[in-house]
Amino acid sequence: MRRAIYPGSFDPITNGHLDIIARGCKLFDEIIIAILVNPEKLPFFSIDERREMLGEVLGQIKSGSCQLRVDAFEGLLVQYAVAQQAEAIVRGIRAISDYEFELQMALMNRRLEPTIETVFMMPAEAYSYVSSRLVKEVFLLGGALDGLVPPLVEARMKEKVAPR
Ligand code: PNS
């Protein structure tokens, strides 16, 4: 049983994240999509909203025999990974600019917990410029999100800012 953690903020989940999950499914039997609980960041979606959305979106993708689970974690990622009996952390790398920070994190995580490997995966080129941060910016400025996030996510974003 090969289990990996795919950690992140997922605020919101993008099609780039889904692409990485689908690729990770070729390597692992189970992937835990783990949302970081970060009290310092003011998120667009609450942890519960992200959990619920991820569950729905992941239910719609074909993951074959790979199990997908959604969870949230606080504190050190490697401690969480050990507690979940995972052997790897999956991270997506879109461009060389991602690599520097991801390498730092991967090496720090290895120092903290040498038994956990970090696996870098490249998304399809079509998602190489897609990030949650840009998705939120484009959305808040009135731009279209089709092809960047699942339709359900765009709908939830619209609900969130709709006047009551
Ligand atoms: O989606 P993000 O914001 O790029 O994900 C960053 C994440 C969650 C992978 C990173 O912030 C993290 O692992 N945080 C947990 C705290 C931790 O373990 N810090 C030491 C890592 S070097």
- Over residues 70-84, the pLDDT tens digits come to 999 999 999 999 999
Protein residue with least CA distance to atom 20, ligand 1: 76
Q: What is the distance in A from the centroid of ligand 1 to the CA of 130?
A: 19
Q: What are phi and psi of 157, to 5 degrees?
A: -65, -40
Secondary structure (3-state) at 35? strand
Q: Which atom of ligand 1 is nearest to the CA of 79?
A: 18
Model pLDDT for residues 42-80, shown as the tens digit of each residue: 999 999 999 999 999 999 887 788 999 999 999 999 999
Q: Which residues contact 63 (CB under 8 A, 6 or more apart)?
A: 21, 22, 25
Determine which residue's CA is closest to atom 10 belonging to ligand 1: 8
Range of the domain at 153: 3-161
Report the number of distinct structural domains present in the chain.
1
Flag whether the pTM goes above 0.95: yes
Domain of 144, CATH number, reads 3.40.50.620
